[in-house]
Amino acid sequence: MNASTARLRGVLAPVLTPFSADGTPSAARYVRHCRLLLNQGVSLAAFGTNSEANSLSVREKRMLLDALVEAGLPTARMMPGTGACAIPDTVELTRHALAYGCAGVLMLPPFYYKGVSDEGLFRSFASVIDTVADPRLRIYLYHIPQVAQVGISAALIERLLRAYPGIVAGIKDSSGDWQNTEVLLDAFQPDGFDVFAGSETFLLRTLQRGGAGCITATANVNAKAIAQLAREWHADDAPAQQRALDTTRAALQRFPMIAAMKAAIAWQSGDDGWAAVRPPLVELDAAQRRDLESALTNIGFRIDGAATLAEHAEEVVHPGR
C-alpha cells in the first residue's frame, strides 16, 4: 500500500483499547469503536496514552492494526503511536504502520531514563528515521512531559527539522500549557510543521492560530461534537460549542480519565466488558460509576452510537472506508 500524501488535520482520537474477559485486547470491540469514530468525523491515533499503549506489547499493537486493516478501515486516516523506550520496538511498529500506508506515526521520546539531553533525544529519533529509511515516513512528535517526564524542546524540534525536513511532520502538545502551544504555533506551524493540541479544551484557540487540530482523549466518547467544532470553528457559535465541549470534559475529568471513558461506554452501550482496564490501572468502583453516570446525566450527555459498541452488536464490514 502507498502512504497517503494528504496530511491529517482536524480531530484524532487516541483510541481506547477494550479488553476481553481473559485480559487480552478485544479486536472485535476495537474495530467497532474505530469504525464509529471514523464515521463521526474523527481520525485514529491508535496506541496513545489513553489507549493504554505502554501496557500493550508490540505483538498486541501489530495485531490490532492488522484487525483494522483486515476490516477495511482507511489507513490514510490513521496515526498509530509507535514510540517506545527501545529503539528496535519503535522501528518495528513504525515499519508495520508504513507497510499499511498509515498517514503518519505518533512518536513518544524514549521515556524511562530521566534528565536526558536534547542530544540524546536527537540521536534516538535520528536512529529510528535512519533505520526505517523510508521517504514515506511522517513523524508526529508526542510531547507529554507531565507523564513521560521527558519533554521535547523547541530547540530539539528545530534541529530535527533541519536534519529531516518533511519527515518530522508535526507534534501533539499534551503539556496542557497553552503558552507552550503558542510558541510552537508561532515558530513552526507557518513552515508546515503541524501543531495539534493535546486536548479539545484548546481546539478553538489552536485552529484560530492556524494549528492543525487536536488529538484528544474525549474524542473516544464525544467525537461528533468535537469534530463539528473542528469543521465550524469560523461559525458565530464556535465559542458556545467550545464551552459545551469543556463542560463534558470537566464531568469526565473528575475521575481517572481512561477508566471513566471506558465506564461511560460500558454504561451507555450495555456492554460491561468495556469497563475493563489493564493493570496497573484500576477500573472505577461502583460508587464512582454511579457518580459518573449522574454527572453525565445532569449535563444531558449521551455517546452517539454507543449501542453499536456492545460485544453482541453485529459487526458490519465496509471495505475501503
Q: How many whole angstroms separate alpha carbon 102 and alpha carbon 50?
A: 20
- Section 98-106 average pLDDT: 98
Q: Are 170 and 212 in contact (CB under 8 A)?
A: yes
DSSP state of 151: -
C-alpha cell belonging to residue 73? 478501515
Name the packing angle between helices 87-99 and 58-70 (round to 10°).
10
Q: Which helix (H) or strand (E) holds 194?
A: strand 194-197
Q: How many whole angstroms separate alpha carbon 279 and alpha carbon 175?
A: 25
Structural domains of the chain, with CATH: 10-232 (3.20.20.70)
Q: Catalytic residue numbers?
A: 142, 172
C-alpha cell belonging to residue 80? 498509530
3-state secondary structure of 81: strand
Encode pLDDT of 270-294 as tens digits. Answer: 999 999 999 999 999 999 999 999 9
Instruction: Answer yes or no: is pLDDT of 318 > 80.
Output: no
Predicted pLDDT at 5? 58
* Total-model pTM: 0.94
- Residue 230 contacts by C-beta under 8 Å, 6 or more apart in sequence? 10, 11, 41, 203, 207, 213, 214
Q: How confident is the model at residue 6 (pLDDT cuts 50, 70, 90)?
A: confident
Encode pLDDT of 53-84 as tens digits. Answer: 999 999 999 999 999 999 999 999 999 999 99
Predicted pLDDT at 311? 76
To 10 degrees, the CA torsion angle through 38, 44, 50, 52? 110
87 is in an annotated binding site: no
